[in-house]
Structure 1
Amino acid sequence: MPEGHSVHRIARQFARRFVGRAVRVSSPQGRFAEGAAMLDGRTMTDAKAVGKQMFLDFEDGLWLRVHLGIYGAWDFAGALELDAPTASAGGRMGQTNQRGTVVGEHEDSLASIGAPRRARLRMAEQEKVTETVETWPPEPVGQVRVRLLTDETVADLRGPTACEVLDDAGVRAVLDRLGPDPQLDDGPEAEAKFVERLTKSAKAVGLQLMDQSVVAGIGNVYRAEILFRARMNPHTPARTISAEQARDLWADWSRLLEIGVTTGQMMTMDGLDEAAHRRALASRADRHWVYKREGLPCRVCGTHIVLEEMGNRKLYWCPQCQA
C-alpha cells in the first residue's frame, strides 16, 4: 500500500499540471460516471495529500477524495514533471517494492532521463516512466475508474479503495478522523496531538503507529524502520512510552517522510558513504534496516531479523536491538 511520501508526490504532480486548469473528467470503466459528471469541466483549484489520502479541490466547493489502498495507482501521460532521483523498473508510484537503477545523481524532470514530452508515468508505490504516448489523448488502458484530462496532461486512476466526490463538510469530516501529517504541520501543536494520541492507548506501539487516526501516512515499511531506529520493541504498550520518546518518534517520522517526498524513496538508513548511498537508492535490499530482511543478520548486532504478524500486517524487527 502506498505510504505517505508517495501520495504527497502524486499530489505534487497534480498541483503542477492540473491546478488552475479546466479538467475534463470521465469514467471509462463506468463505475464513477455520476461523480465524473459532477466534476467535468470544472477548474481544479488545489491538490493536497493528508497521510495516505489525496484531495483534489474543484471550483464551487467540490472535492475528489482518493485513497489508493493496496491496488490503486495513477497513470499520468503528456506534459509531466518528475522530481525523483530514481527510475524504478516494473512498478507503480505509491508502492514499496521499488527496484531499478539510479540515473545520474538527481533527476529534476522527465527530460533529464531522456524521456519525450509525452511520456507515460505510473505513480503508486513506485514511480516508473514507461512508453511514449503516440496519440493524444491516449486510449485508456485497463479498468480506469476516473480519467482527468487537460489539453496537455492526462491522469488515469485504477483500483482505488476509495474514490468519491465530497463537499467541504465531507472533506472536513474525513480530515477530523486523521492524525497529524508532518508534511502539512510539523509545529508543536501537531507534535502534541501525536504524542497524546499515541500514548493514550494500551495497544502495542507497533499497532498505534499504523493507526491513521494517531498519525497519518505511516505504513508497514516506515513502521518497522522507525521502531528499529528508535531501538523500540514493537510490542511495547504505547501508554508506557514517555513523552520524550514519543516526540523522538515524531521527529524521526518527519525526517524520513521529508526524505521520501524529496527522493521518491523510503530511504531509512543514514550515515552511508557515497557509494553505499547510491546502492541504497538503486536497491531496496540496501535501503532498510529490517524491512523485508527476515532471517538475515541484523546490520547492527548480527541477530536474525524476525518476521511476525501484527494487526494483519507483516512486522519486521530485531529481537536483540529492540529487546
Structure 2
Amino acid sequence: MPEGHSVHRIARQFGRNFVGRAVAASSPQGRFAEGAAVIDGRTATAVRAVGKQMFLEFDDDLTLRVHLGLYGAWDFAGEILVDPTIASANGRMGQTNQRGTDLADDDPILDDAGENSLTSIGAPRRTRVHVRMSEQTTGLADDGDVWPPPVVGQVRLRLLTESTAADLRGPTACELQTPDEVAATIAKLGPDPLVDDVTEGEERFTTVVRRKPTSIGLLLMDQSVVSGIGNVYRAELLFRARQNPHTPGRDVPEETVRELWRDWVRLLAIGVETGQMMTMDDLEPAAYRRAMASRDDRHWVYHRAGLPCRICGTEIVVEEVATRKLYWCPNCQR
C-alpha cells in the first residue's frame, strides 16, 4: 500500500499538470462511468493530499476523492511538468513507488531494475514520458507519438489534458464528493504533518495514543490516529524509537510518543523529497547511494525477517498482526 509520502507526491504531480486545466474524464473499465461523465470537461481547480487520500477539486464544488488502498496506482504519460519541490515523479505512482535518485546529473543512482525516475531534483522541466512497465505490471503503452496513448488493462479512470494523461487502476475508493462530504472524510483522519499545524498535530496524536489500550503497533497504522503511516514506516518508526510494538499506547512513555510524531514529521519530509522511504540516518555517500538504489540497504528492520539486527545482531522477527506483517527486533525493542 502506498504510504503518505507517495500520495503527497501524486497530489503535487496533479497540481503541476492538471490544476488550472480543462480535463477530459472517462472510465475505460466502466466502473466509474457516471462519475467520469460528471467531471468530463470541467476544470481542475485545486488538489490536496491528507494521509493516504487525495482530493482533486473541480469547478462547481465537485471533488474527486481517491484512496489507492493496497493495489491502486496512477500511471502518468505525456508531457510532464515536474514539481520543483520534489524529484521527478514520472511513470507509475502508488502501488509501485518511484525509485532511484541523483547525487549529480552525470552520476545517477539506479535501482535493481535499472530504473532511475528521480532525475530532476530542483528545477522544473518538461519531458516527454512514455511509461513501459515490467512484465509483472501494466502501464500506459509506449506507442511512439500516438496521443492519447491507448488504454491498457483495467483502468478505472482516465484523466486527460491536451498533453498529459493519468490512468487510475485498482483503487480502494474513487468517488465524487461535495464540500461537506470532503470535510466529513477529513474530519475522520488523524493529523498529517504536511497538512496540519505540526505542534497541534503532536498534541492531538499524543493525547489519543496515551489514552488507548490498543498496542502502539496497531495505533500507528490507524488512520484516525495519525495519517499516512503504513507498514514500512510503522516498523521503522518503532525501531528508531526502540519501542516494543505490543505495548499498549497508554503505557508508552509520553516523551516516546512525542518523539514518534517528531520522527514521522522528519521521515515524511524525506519521503516526499526523494520518493523513497529512507529511514537510516547519517549515511556516508557510498552507503547512501546503496540505500537509494536498494531497499535492502534502506531500512533497519522492514523486510529483514531472519536477518541479524543492524544494531545488536539479534534475528529480526516478523509477525502477522491484523493481516499485516510486523517486523521488529525483540532485543532492541524490548
Letter in 2 for 1:305: I
Letter in 2 for 1:162: A
Question: Equivalent residue for 1:251?
Answer: 262
Question: Equivalent residue for 1:107?
Answer: 119
RMSD: 2.7
Say which SS state the counterpart of residue 49 (structure 1) adopts: strand
**Separation in structure 2 between the aligned mates of residue 317 and residue 96 of structure 1, nearest angstrom:** 24
Structure 2 residue 146 is matched with structure 1 residue 147: no
**Separation in structure 1 between the aligned mates of residue 184 and residue 124 of structure 2, nearest angstrom:** 41
Deviation for aligned residue 1:253: 0.3
**Separation in structure 2 between the aligned mates of residue 261 and residue 133 of structure 1, nearest angstrom:** 31
Query: CA 1:87–1:74 in structure 2 vs 1: closer, same or farther (change >3 Å)?
Result: closer
CA contact (8 A) 1:80 1:110 kept: no
Say which SS state the counterpart of residue 300 (structure 2) adopts: coil
Per-residue CA deviation, residues 52-91 of structure 1 (Å, 9 max, x unaligned), is 1110001111000001111111111111145665899xx9
CA contact (8 A) 1:2 1:69 kept: yes
Which residue, 157, 170, 183 being the options, matches 1:159?
170
Question: Equivalent residue for 1:297?
Answer: 308
Question: Equivalent residue for 2:60?
Answer: 60
Structure-1-length-normalised TM-score:
0.90
Moved over 4 A (4+): 82-88, 96-103, 109-113, 128-133
CA contact (8 A) 1:77 1:133 kept: no
Deviation for aligned residue 1:131: 4.2
Question: Equivalent residue for 1:221?
Answer: 232
Structure 2 residue 146 is matched with structure 1 residue 135: yes
Letter in 1 for 2:65: R
Letter in 2 for 1:5: H
Letter in 2 for 1:173: A
Structure 2 residue 44 is matched with structure 1 residue 44: yes
Letter in 1 for 2:93: M
CA contact (8 A) 1:118 1:132 kept: no
Aligned ranges 1:233-312 → 2 under 5 Å: 233-312=244-323
Letter in 2 for 1:4: G
Deviation for aligned residue 1:129: 10
Query: CA 1:194–1:111 in structure 2 vs 1: closer, same or farther (change >3 Å)?
Result: closer
Query: CA 1:233–1:293 in structure 2 vs 1: closer, same or farther (change >3 Å)?
Result: same
Structure 2 residue 189 is matched with structure 1 residue 178: yes
Query: CA 1:54–1:85 in structure 2 vs 1: closer, same or farther (change >3 Å)?
Result: closer
CA contact (8 A) 2:82 2:89 kept: no
Structure 2 residue 80 is matched with structure 1 residue 80: yes
**Separation in structure 2 between the aligned mates of residue 86 and residue 50 of structure 1, nearest angstrom:** 21
**Separation in structure 2 between the aligned mates of residue 52 and residue 39 of structure 1, nearest angstrom:** 22
Say which SS state the counterpart of residue 128 (structure 2) adopts: coil
Deviation for aligned residue 1:107: 1.7
**Separation in structure 2 between the aligned mates of residue 223 and residue 321 of structure 1, nearest angstrom:** 16
Deviation for aligned residue 1:314: 0.2
CA contact (8 A) 2:77 2:140 kept: no
**Separation in structure 2 between the aligned mates of residue 274 and residue 306 of structure 1, nearest angstrom:** 29
Which segment drifts farther, 69-78 or 289-298? 69-78
Identity level (%): 63
Deviation for aligned residue 1:92: 4.3
**Separation in structure 1 between the aligned mates of residue 140 and residue 313 of structure 2, nearest angstrom:** 38
Structure 1: runs of 5 or more not aligned: none
Deviation for aligned residue 1:120: 3.0
Structure 2 residue 205 is matched with structure 1 residue 201: no
**Separation in structure 2 between the aligned mates of residue 308 and residue 194 of structure 1, nearest angstrom:** 25
Letter in 1 for 2:165: V
Letter in 1 for 2:5: H
Question: Equivalent residue for 2:113?
Answer: none
Structure 2 residue 5 is matched with structure 1 residue 24: no
CA contact (8 A) 2:236 2:279 kept: yes
Deviation for aligned residue 1:168: 0.2
Structure-2-length-normalised TM-score:
0.87
Query: CA 1:13–1:162 in structure 2 vs 1: closer, same or farther (change >3 Å)?
Result: same
Per-residue CA deviation, residues 281-310 of structure 1 (Å, 9 max, x unaligned), is 000000000000000000000000001111
Query: CA 1:283–1:112 in structure 2 vs 1: closer, same or farther (change >3 Å)?
Result: farther
Q: How many residues align?
A: 316
Structure 2: runs of 5 or more not aligned: 110-117
**Separation in structure 2 between the aligned mates of residue 282 and residue 130 of structure 1, nearest angstrom:** 26
